[in-house]
Chains A and B, each alone.
Chain A
Amino acid sequence: MNNLQGKVALITGAARGQGAAEARLFAERGAKVVITDVLDKEGKQIAAEIGDAAHYIHMDVTDENAWAAAVKETVERFGKLNVLINNAGIVQVKAMVDCSVADYMKVIEINQLGVFLGMRTVAGPMKDAGGGSIINISSIDGLIGMTGGAAYCASKFAVRGMTKVAAMELGPDNIRVNSIHPGGVLTPMVTQTGLDESAIESIFGKVPLGRVGQPEEMATLAAYLASDDSSYSTGSEFIADGGLTAGFSLEG
């Protein structure tokens, strides 16, 4: 399958986890990929493994100037930019009553402001490219609440909302904007909450599909949204959560 031929994608938070899986799959399906992250060593390593189709750029998603520079470098290197995956994110599990403004703002800046800056910065080059696809990684926590997720849920609902506004504003330029809502996926971000693998398995093993998702299963959804196969989809939510948000069961 080479359905990403002709796509040049910038993927944030791509040094590991879901972002790295996206970078690998996108390159495999024919795209050129710019990997950005603040984890330089791991990011460079992934880019080197992928080869000529990938390039690593250090970028802090909360930094306006870093965005402008990364987007410029992408266009210079690969000729255009027509896919953006706003994948970088952090999670924080902290009871609301214990959440300081500093705690709160840290999450908002990376997960929410970062997405805003990314969308704003790529609109110009995507218009020049004749259109594009922006994929914002929200979460099931952008659909429902999570205890201890005052900041995280706020940022993920915000991403879902901004996605719709951007879809409306950028549709006339043939730029599609959609959000992806992963459920439980085994990535370093999730294990950093302090939950170990077996705890995560036991929480997400209760979903209808009975298992945790793999980063690759989010990458395939991102690939669909990046491809021309999704040409009539914009402004909506694409969920891959094993059925977690489908409903509740009265039986065990």
Chain B
Amino acid sequence: MGALDGKVALITGAARGQGAAEARLFASRGAKVMMCDVLDEEGAQVAADIGDSAAYMRLDVTSEQDWKNVVNATVEKFGKLNVLVNNAGIISPIVEIQDTTLEQYNKVINVNQVGVFLGMREVVEPMKKAGGGSIVNISSIDGLLGMYGATAYCATKFAVRGMTKVAALELGKHGIRVNSLHPGGVKTKILDDTGMTEEQAEDAFKAIPLGRIAKSEEMATLAAYLASDDASYSTGSEFVADGGLTAGFALEG
């Protein structure tokens, strides 16, 4: 399938997990991919695995200068930039609000929220030059409802959802679409950072309608849809892939 032929995508946090799955899938569907992360060794390795249609470059999403550098480098290498996947994110260990330090809070805000703001801002010009584009912001089910012990994380994911709508309103006239993607439970490294074991994580998702945790690839296919021209009339809204977790509650076991 060449649904992403002609697309040049910058993907943040692409060294592993969902970002790496997105990079692989996008390349397999015809896109050129600039993979960014702070995990240089893993990132370069995934790019090498993919081959000529991928490149790796270090990007700290909280750094304005880093953003300018990677956006320029992407356009230089692949001729344009028309897809951005703001995928990089961190989660803190589960901690209640009264025990959350300002430092912990700000760390999550900087990466998950300021990083998305900077990314959207920096790609506008190149996307305008490319005649339009698609920005895919990875929010979370925690951008739709609350999660116990995750004040900072939920704040950022709701913020991403809100900024997505503002950007959609402002950038629509340039043919730039902006949407948020809301994964539920996905087997990635970020989940380990909550302190849950793999078994606990799998158990936690048995009760949802589809009865299982997701694979990273199942988020990559949604990102690919939003990046493609198939999604040409969608902008400013939420795309949920959560196995039904947020659909409602059951009166039966």
Contacts and interface: CB of A to CB of B under 8 A. Distances in A.
A221 B230 contact: yes
Nearest to B165: A246
A236 B233 contact: no
Interface in B162-198: 165-166, 168-173, 175, 177, 183-184
A207 B165 CA distance: 12
A234 B250 CA distance: 15
Contacts of B214: 232
A172 B233 contact: no
A218 B233 contact: yes
Size bin of chain A's contact surface: 35 or more
**Which residue among A208, A223, A234, A242 has the maximum number of chain B CB atoms within 10 Å of its CB?**
A208
A229 interface: yes
B218 interface: yes
Interface in A13-48: none
Given A165-B248, A209-B172, A230-B221, A236 B230 contact: no
B169 A167 contact: no
Interface residues of B, number: 46
B180 to A, nearest CB: 11
A171 B210 contact: yes
Contacts, number: 135
Contacts of A236: 238, 240, 242, 246-247
B181 to A, nearest CB: 10
B167 to A, nearest CB: 9
A229 B222 contact: yes
A156 to B, nearest CB: 16
Given A168-B247, A232-B184, A246 B211 contact: no
A53 B211 CA distance: 34
Contacts of A234: 209-210, 243-244, 247
B77 to A, nearest CB: 27
Nearest to A224: B225
Nearest to B182: A236
Interface of A: 1-3, 164-165, 167-168, 170-172, 174, 176, 182-183, 207-210, 213-214, 217-218, 220-221, 223-224, 229-243, 245-247, 249
Closest 4 CB pairs of A and B: A171-B209, A208-B172, A246-B236, A235-B247
